[in-house]
């Protein structure tokens, strides 16, 4: 039987079981070589062009994003149902996993440090969040697809290992200054083509890019079938109601038009089918 392998930060090859153990204990792992070396540059160029054309600035100075990336740019689509990625997602979230968000994240040289947060639905500043103290369960996975090398210099995402087991995070006023370095923080690093996988509860932050090239990443989130994603969909009743009732903002993920969906690889379609709407 073929042995599936991943790389943790020490670059040692390890099995899916070891990756899962790393995810459970530390809250993250890095899968190497998910996008082949000779294909990753083309994906990076395409995503950079898309962000230049339709991207927006973020709250972090020097960073730009494109939310709902897959509707604008399908260059990453062939890799999203990678065997190792899906084995990990299904082991942690069960069958019928769905992708909740695809977002380009480019940090240009000189960008500032971002704030500590856990991702949706644990970010307490967003309208549709699970109120803290939240239960100790894996409910959403965040992945960041490294389209350029993630190093300490280029601003590999800051993470706090083990923080996913905490029932709170700095977005909820838990006493941790969201802007200050945390004593046990580290950079998630990897070659272009690697994927950082983490429990969405893990505290993380944008790191300064001190290199002379853009650091190009694509956060892709994987959700269990039962997690209600409608609050992310512009125009949905739930989004309107929850945002009106809380007065808070929320991530927005635009629909995938049917003609774009038709071009996606067959093994990726089930991950994105729930997001197809006429615009």
Ligand X SMILES: O=C(O)CCC(=O)C(=O)O
| 58 belongs to the binding site for ligand X (CB under 6 A) | no
Nearest to 185 by CA among 206, 168, 166: 206
- What single-letter DSSP state applies at residue 131? P
Angle between the N-to-C axes of helices 83-93 and 16-26, in degrees from 0 to 180, rounded to the nearest 10: 50
Rounded Cα distance between 33 and 215, Å, is: 17
Nearest to 160 by CA among 150, 148, 169, 152: 169
| 157 belongs to the binding site for ligand X (CB under 6 A) | yes
| Shorter beta-carbon distance to ligand X: residue 81 or 105 | 105
Among 27, 149, 219, 254, indicate the residue that binds ligand X (CB under 6 A).
Answer: 219
The three-class DSSP label of residue 164 is: helix
| 67 belongs to the binding site for ligand X (CB under 6 A) | no
Site for ligand X (CB under 6 A): how many residues? 9
| Shorter beta-carbon distance to ligand X: residue 62 or 114 | 114
| Shorter beta-carbon distance to ligand X: residue 170 or 219 | 219
| 119 belongs to the binding site for ligand X (CB under 6 A) | yes
| 127 belongs to the binding site for ligand X (CB under 6 A) | no
**How would you classify the pairing of strands 215-223 and 98-107?**
antiparallel
Q: Which structure tokens are listed for 15?
A: 């099995």
Among 204, 209, 222, 254, indicate the residue that binds ligand X (CB under 6 A).
Answer: 204
| Shorter beta-carbon distance to ligand X: residue 79 or 116 | 116
Q: Where does this chain bind ligand X (CB under 6 A)?
A: 105, 107, 114, 119, 157, 204, 206, 217, 219
């Amino acid at each position: 039987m073929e042995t599936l392998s991943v790389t943790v930060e020490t670059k040692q090859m390890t099995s899916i079981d070891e990756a899962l153990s790393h995810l459970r204990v530390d809250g993250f792992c890095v899968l190497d070589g998910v996008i082949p070396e000779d294909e990753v540059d083309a994906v990076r160029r395409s995503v950079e062009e898309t962000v230049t054309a339709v991207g927006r600035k973020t709250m972090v100075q020097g960073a730009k994003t494109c939310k709902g990336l897959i509707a604008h740019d399908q260059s990453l689509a062939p890799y999203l149902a990678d065997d190792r990625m899906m084995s990990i997602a299904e082991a942690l979230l069960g069958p019928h996993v769905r992708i909740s968000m695809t977002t380009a994240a480019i940090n240009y040289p000189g960008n500032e440090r971002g704030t500590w947060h856990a991702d949706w639905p644990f970010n307490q500043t967003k309208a549709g969040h699970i109120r803290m103290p939240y239960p100790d369960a894996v409910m959403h996975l965040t992945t960041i697809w490294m389209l350029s090398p993630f190093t300490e210099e280029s601003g590999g995402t800051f993470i706090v290992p083990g923080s996913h087991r905490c029932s709170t995070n700095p977005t909820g006023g838990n006493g941790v200054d969201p802007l200050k370095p945390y004593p046990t923080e580290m950079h998630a690093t990897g070659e272009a083509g690697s994927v950082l996988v983490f429990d969405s509860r893990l505290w993380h932050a944008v790191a300064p890019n001190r290199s002379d090239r853009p650091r190009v990443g694509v956060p892709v989130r994987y959700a269990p079938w039962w997690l209600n994603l409608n609050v992310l969909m512009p125009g949905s009743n739930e989004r309107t109601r929850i945002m009106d009732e809380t007065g808070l903002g929320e991530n927005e993920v635009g629909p995938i038009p049917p003609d774009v969906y038709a071009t996606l690889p067959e093994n990726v379609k089930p991950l994105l089918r729930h997001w197809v709407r006429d615009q």
